Amino acid sequence: QKEVEQNSGPLSVPEGAIASLNCTYSDRGSQSFFWYRQYSGKSPELIMFIYSNGDKEDGRFTAQLNKASQYVSLLIRDSQPSDSATYLCAARKDFGNEKLTFGTGTRLTIIP
Amino acid sequence: EAGVTQSPTHLIKTRGQQATLRCSPISGHTSVYWYQQALGLGLQFLLWYDEGEERNRGNFPPRFSGRQFPNYSSELNVNALELEDSALYLCASSPLTDTQYFGPGTRLTVL
């Protein structure tokens, strides 16, 4: 079992709709969770991080964390064609173990 | 504020050679992380340096090594290059225990 799992997609969403990206993790020692966006040929760009159960909103993006279910999600409201990218979920244990463990990413395509 | 910088952008080597990749962190960041992104494998953690010390190492052979300099910049060295070392090598920096920000990467091709 991979430590961080994501559906590789591709996930196709109409422009203006809500895109929902999901991630599960296997290590209960994971404390912080990160969503990065990666355009083809570019490096990952941080979108959001979350470490408390519940929702965290930043503009059109909402991250959700459920530690009991070991589940993290990212919602993108009012999806735009510029949101088309691969979204990477990462987990971190913290407390001296700061490496990020990444999922393989979900490829999102926004259809105009 | 300048972001993380990496050099070179592209590097072409032949099997058995050595490669040296460089990274300059964001000003004020003391931690530097190295990741490998090979095609189809996702990002894999390589090394973490903070305050000049190696803090953690991923599941890579010893021919992957590095160091961090007093100005917090870092080098990644890959000895005895193998074809499967071809990948995008990403450097990230952070203040200790904080969020990591990635540089543009070095694309290493081993022929």
Cβ pair A99:B33 closer than 8 A: yes
**Contact between residue B80 and residue B65 where contact means Cβ atoms under 8 Å apart:** no
Q: Pairing mode, if any, of strands B87-94 and A32-38? A: unpaired
**Contact between residue A70 and residue A26 where contact means Cβ atoms under 8 Å apart:** yes
Residue B97 pLDDT class (50, 70, 90 cuts): low
Best A43, A94, A100 residue to mutate vs chain B (most B CBs within 10 Å): A43
Cβ pair A94:B94 closer than 8 A: no
Residue B85 pLDDT class (50, 70, 90 cuts): very high
**Contact between residue A72 and residue A63 where contact means Cβ atoms under 8 Å apart:** yes
CA pair distance B41, B85, nearest whole angstrom: 12
pLDDT of residue B96 exceeding 80, the answer is no
Q: Which of A38, A98, A111, A103 is nearest to A72 (CA)?
A: A103
Tens digit of pLDDT at every position of chain A (112 positions): 789 999 888 999 999 999 999 999 999 999 999 999 999 989 999 999 999 999 999 999 999 999 999 999 999 999 999 999 999 999 998 776 689 999 999 999 999 9
Residue B89 pLDDT class (50, 70, 90 cuts): very high
B-chain residues within 8 Å CB-CB of A34?
Answer: 99-100
Give the A window 75-104 contacts with B, CB below 8 Å: 88, 90, 94, 96-104
The tokens describing B70, both together, are: 């007093």
pLDDT of residue B56 exceeding 70, the answer is yes
H-only helix segments in B12-110: none
On whether any CB of chain B is under 8 Å from the CB of A42, the answer is yes
**Contact between residue A21 and residue A11 where contact means Cβ atoms under 8 Å apart:** yes
CA pair distance A103, B32, nearest whole angstrom: 21
